[in-house]
Amino acid sequence: MRLSLVRLAPSVHGPGDRGFVPALIQGARKTGVSAYIGDGANRWPAVHRLDAASLYRLALENTPAGNALHAAAERGVTLKSIADQIGYQFGVPSESTTFEEARAHFEDATEHFGSTFRATILAADVPVSSDLTQALLGWEPTHETLLEDLQFGDYNT
């Protein structure tokens, strides 16, 4: 038996996304503000779902047993840049909030998870490198970045 672990980026974006980005969009639509915490410099790794799928295929076909692989096409997109793009796309301002204000912002804004959990996750800085994964398997992400997907993708409906 050959086992390996694929660790997905916190934001797996693309058609059908039901996670991180749609929750931020829902919060912006409901409150009229695209929020980020503090200076918004905290980073979120991201990968397009089709790039993640190609990594899973490569992992099944070629990975030596016992490897941990990182499916992160982007090391870290700042939360402020995500909030700014959401604000631009949906015609709402992006604004800095404190952690407590973020809890209140997401209290009724999202259906996923509790507001404290959501604010805690949003405040985290979680950059990740997939350099070793790319070198081991020859994986090269080719699809849209998170910000490109926000600007031109399926989130604009």
Work out the average pLDDT over 50-60: 95
- Provide φ and ψ at 27, rounded to 5°: -60, -40
Confidence at residue 3, expressed as pLDDT on a 0 to 100 scale: 77
* Nearest alpha-carbon partner for 83 in 34, 22, 17, 38: 34
- Quick one: pLDDT at residue 23? 82
Return the higher-pLDDT residue of 28 and 121.
Answer: 28
Q: Which residue has the tokens 């409906």?
A: 157
Check whether 111 has a pLDDT greater than 70. no
Q: Binning pLDDT at 50, 70 and 90, where does residue 59 land?
A: very high
- Determine the pLDDT at residue 1: 61
pLDDT > 90 fraction of the chain, expressed in percent and rounded: 57
Amino acid type, 111: E
Cβ distance 31 to 83 under 8 Å? no
Provide the residue ranges of all domains of the chain, joining segments of one domain with +.
5-151
How many whole angstroms separate alpha carbon 142 and alpha carbon 49? 11
Tokens of 21: 């980005």
Whole-angstrom distance, CA of residue 64 vs CA of residue 61: 9
pLDDT at residue 92 greater than cutoff 70: yes
Q: Is the pLDDT of residue 116 over 90?
A: no
pLDDT digits over 128-145, tens only?
Answer: 999 999 999 999 999 999
Average pLDDT over residues 113-120: 65
Per-residue pLDDT for 113 more than 60?
no
Angstrom distances, CA of residue 65 to CA of 24, 60, 137:
37, 10, 13
CA distance 75 to 128: 5
pTM to 2 decimal places: 0.88
Q: Give the residue among 3, 15, 49 at the shortest CA–CA distance from 152.
A: 15
Closest to 31 measured CA to CA, from 121, 89, 107, 85: 107
How much is the pLDDT for 82? 96
Q: Which CATH entry fits the domain spanning 5-151: 3.40.50.300, 3.40.50.720, 1.20.1250.20, 2.40.50.100?
A: 3.40.50.720
